[in-house]
Amino acid sequence: MTILFAFAGCLWGILGGALPGLSPSIAMALLLPFTYGMEPVPAIVLLASVYVGAEYGGSIRAILIRTPGTNASAAIALDGFEMARQGRGGEALGISLVSGLVGGLFGLAVLVLATEPLARLALAFTPAAYFALAVLGLSVIASLAGGSLTKGLIGAGLGLMISTVGTDPVSGVPRFTFATPELLGCIRPILVMVGLFAVAEMLVQIGEPAWARAEARDTRLTLPGLSMMRRLLLAQAIGCGIGTVEGVTPGAGGTIAAFMAYNEARRRSKEPEAFGKGAPEGVAAPEAANNVVTATALVPLLSLGIPGSNSAAVLLGGFLVHGLTPGPLLFEKAPKVVWGLYGGLLAANIAMLLLGLVILTPALWLVNRPKPYLLAAILCLIVSGVYAIEQSLFDVGLVLGFGVLGYLLRLAGVPVLPLVLGVVLGFMLESNYRRSLVISGGDHAVFVEDPVAATLLAAAAALTLWSLWSEFRRKT
Amino acid sequence: MSRAADLALGASALALAGGYAAMASALPVSLLSDSVGPGGVPLMIAGLMASAGAVLMLRAALVAPGAASERPHHRRTAGLAGLVALYVLAVPLLGYPPALGLLGAAVAWFAGARGVSPALFAAGLAGVFWLMFVVVLGIPFPVGSLFGGL
């Protein structure tokens, strides 16, 4: 019966993740009331399976219609959508599915075997370390700038500017809101990404001189063969390694992991120039990283009771509803629930593979309809999904604005990835920088005295210098 | 990219950095504020943006111009963006399903579909989306002031 809940939860999660407007946490929250009358184990398994399915479902629409479902799946859209555009959508979905499974199972193994030591790592993260982690995330800009570091910096600057809109995280002063109440919270990164990726893509496509020309496309799901699996092994290993470390740090989530894994796979590839143009490794690395994070993000929740993401917070709600308090005592008081959760996550990952095999071919068929109707359907899906997030037409207008911005940036040759990273990491960077200085009484030495922060900052400096040196060598 | 486009981008970055820095400097400092203040980090970002803009302008002025690429149809792009903007304005008036249906039909027609198919497609699309978002997910979309709703 519990396995059935894992399949049902995973199916709902995949559908929810693939639908704009339903984030993984919302998909989970919608099911939370149904778990009230259930036994604790199936209830937790149901919620955890929705979580696994939704994190994967976000990648389907990122690949097929360049609309990332989660912040992390923006990294998967880069090469995944390029592959789909080249008529290799079935291959991209197959790679994403298998890499997601590899990442999910690896993350589960880490969760089962190493929760205790990893929990200690999570505790070592001070505000200074979080600041350094954000700097490390931003350091990949040097290699994701697409040939022009200057334009990459302009993109990153724009993203950081967008992240400062709203209420100041320390003093509560409204900033850059132009007296608009809707901007007092902040601009959600997902709105920026849907605009920059999906809406801008449609504006670009309809403006192309060969817009109406039919393209031969792949309409069947293609799972990677043995030789492709061997080729993807390094990228998946990179994703698994980075995802393990990033997943256990509350708040960091899959975004940094996915982008860093993408960058690292590109850096270590024999053909780095193929990235961004439909490289299978560009799908495998971030997908594996994202799915590892799905499991390892539960480490701080289970061992310390700290929900590291919105989805983990809903899962925490599920535990509390059944009178269970996550934390060190959970393993002693309710081992059945903990092991039930592990078993449910395993079943959810297998369900993800089986359900993927069933639903991905129809999804490919759907995106191969005549272009005018496909364009209209995707636009309608976007405007409906964006409205559904906060029931705000202002948000729909914002997404259109970011779409136009993305279109102009493409014309100007400014890469959008640094912008996305700036938006996603800007708040984390500023709030932790200022909190650290408040704690240290304004002394910047806190960033080198904290061992975790110092290590991460040194890694960021090394990564930036390495990327710049590689770019320089490639050009000369 | 052409030299003119890079110069324009650099100048835009400089102007944006200037405006953003001016707004950041004018931010009120709260009693709760820290040593950096609400404008501290934005001023650093403005510095980064201005430096990148200045370097880009300098480089564009010194480097030989590149070859021009195929020009996209900006009018079609503007038309599509205009249709979405019209939808945003029309939803409070017409309500969700009619406005969405009109958007679907208009975009399909604008993108090249002809005959009665765009209308049938749009009616079906509006129905499916209404069922999915309003009935199943229970999201309160605007009913439309023309029909007595909000």
User: pLDDT for B52-107, tens place per residue?
Assistant: 999 999 988 887 666 555 566 788 899 999 999 999 999 999 999 999 999 999 99
Pair B41, B84 in one domain: no
Query: Does B69 reside within a domain?
Result: no
Token match 């219609």: residue? A65
A224: alpha, beta or left, given left = phi > 0 and alpha = psi -120 to 50?
beta
Tokens of residue A103, six digits: 């990442």
Chosen from B31, B102, B137, B143 to mutate, greatest number of chain A CBs within 10 A: B137
User: Which residues have CB under 8 Å from A309's CB, separation 6+?
Assistant: A25, A250, A251, A253, A297
pLDDT at residue A187 in the model:
92
Tokens of residue A137, six digits: 């995330």
Interface of A with B in 141-180 (CB under 8 A): 150-151, 153-154, 156-158, 160-161, 164, 168, 170-173, 175-176
Pair B55, B105 in one domain: no
A207/B74 CB distance under 8 A: yes
Whole-number Å distance between alpha carbons of A63 and A85? 9
Pair B37, B82 in one domain: no
Query: Does B49 reside within a domain?
Result: yes
Pair B99, B122 in one domain: yes
Bridge partners, A174 (sequence order): A167
Whole-number Å distance between alpha carbons of A348 and A315? 15
**Domain boundary pick from B13, B32, B62:** B62
Measured N-to-C along each axis, helices A451-475 and A127-138 cross at an angle, to the nearest 10 degrees, of 10
Question: Residue A175: phi, psi to the nearest 5?
Answer: -125, 135
pTM of the model: 0.81
Q: Which amino acid is at A96?
A: S
Pair B52, B80 in one domain: no
Min distance B13 CA to chain A CA atoms (Å): 7
How many beta carbons lie within 10 A of that of residue B106, not counting itself? 21
Pair B38, B84 in one domain: no
Tokens of residue A323, six digits: 């009178």
Alpha-carbon torsion (A200, A369, A52, A106), positive or negative: negative
Pair B122, B88 in one domain: yes
- Quote the mean pLDDT of chain B: 88
Query: Does B112 reside within a domain?
Result: yes
pLDDT at residue B14 in the model:
96
Query: Does B118 reside within a domain?
Result: yes
Question: Residue A166: phi, psi to the nearest 5?
Answer: 120, -160
A31 touches B at CB < 8 Å: no
Predicted confidence pLDDT, tens digits, chain A (476 residues): 778 888 999 998 888 887 766 678 778 887 877 787 788 888 888 998 998 888 888 888 888 888 777 777 888 988 999 998 888 888 999 999 999 999 999 999 998 887 767 767 767 778 898 898 888 888 877 666 666 888 989 999 999 999 999 999 888 899 999 999 999 988 988 889 889 888 998 898 888 766 555 455 666 888 899 999 999 999 999 999 998 888 777 666 678 889 889 988 988 888 888 888 889 999 999 999 999 988 888 887 887 777 767 788 788 888 888 888 887 677 778 888 888 889 889 999 999 999 989 888 888 777 777 888 988 998 998 899 889 888 999 999 999 999 999 999 988 889 888 898 898 889 889 999 999 999 998 899 999 999 989 998 998 898 888 777 776 776 66
Measured between alpha carbons, how far is residue A194 from residues A61, A100, A137, A146, A394 in Å?
11, 22, 21, 21, 14
Q: Complex ipTM, two decimals?
A: 0.92
The rounded percent of chain B whose pLDDT value lies above 70 is 91
Q: Which amino acid is at A277?
A: K
Whole-number Å distance between alpha carbons of A384 and B133? 8
- Is residue A1 classed exposed, middle or buried when 0-12, 13-18 and 19+ CB atoms within 10 A define those classes? exposed
Min distance B146 CA to chain A CA atoms (Å): 17
CB of A227 closer than 8 Å to CB of A431: no
Whole-number Å distance between alpha carbons of A267 and A256? 16
What's the 3-state SS for A78-92? HHHHHHHHCCCHHHH
Whole-number Å distance between alpha carbons of A45 and A59? 22
pLDDT at residue A361 in the model:
84
Pair B90, B118 in one domain: yes
Pair B83, B130 in one domain: yes
Closest CA to A81 of B44, A251, B32, A69: A69
Measured between alpha carbons, how far is residue A177 from residues A41, A97, A217, A227, A326 in Å?
46, 41, 44, 53, 39
A434/B41 CB distance under 8 A: yes
B85/A400 CB distance under 8 A: yes
Pair B39, B82 in one domain: no
pLDDT at residue B116 in the model:
82
Query: Does B142 reside within a domain?
Result: yes
DSSP code, position B141:
-
B73/A154 CB distance under 8 A: no
Q: What share of residues in chain A are helix, strand, coil (percent, to 5)?
A: 75, 0, 25
Residue B26: closest CA among chain A residues belongs to which residue?
A: A175
A176/B70 CB distance under 8 A: no
Measured between alpha carbons, how far is residue A44 from residues A1, A38, B20 in Å?
13, 9, 47
Rounded to 5°, the CA angle A384-A385-A387 comes to 65
Number of domains chain B is built from: 2
Pair B79, B125 in one domain: yes
CB of B42 closer than 8 Å to CB of A175: yes
Greatest mean pLDDT among A103-117, B43-57, B108-122 lies in: B43-57
List b or e across A165-177, with b for residues whose CB sees 16 or more CB atoms inside 10 angstroms.
bbbbbbbebbbbe
pLDDT at residue A213 in the model:
53
Query: Does B91 reside within a domain?
Result: yes
**Domain boundary pick from B34, B62, B90:** B62
SS3 B2: coil
Whole-number Å distance between alpha carbons of A268 and B45? 31
Query: Does B130 reside within a domain?
Result: yes
Q: Which amino acid is at A20?
A: P
Question: What residue numbers bound the domain in which B86 lies?
Answer: 74-147
B112/A372 CB distance under 8 A: yes
Pair B30, B81 in one domain: no
Bridge partners, A24 (sequence order): none
The minimal CB distance from A437 to the residues B13, B34, B133 is found for B34
Whole-number Å distance between alpha carbons of A24 and A8? 15
pLDDT at residue A284 in the model:
94
Whole-number Å distance between alpha carbons of A399 and A152? 22
Interface of A with B in 437-476 (CB under 8 A): 437-438, 442
Query: Does B68 reside within a domain?
Result: no
- Is residue B2 classed exposed, middle or buried when 0-12, 13-18 and 19+ CB atoms within 10 A define those classes? middle
Whole-number Å distance between alpha carbons of A237 and A99? 10
**Domain boundary pick from B14, B33, B62:** B62
Alpha helices in A66-199 (DSSP H): 73-85, 89-123, 127-138, 141-144, 149-163, 189-193
Bridge partners, A186 (sequence order): A166
DSSP code, position A167:
E
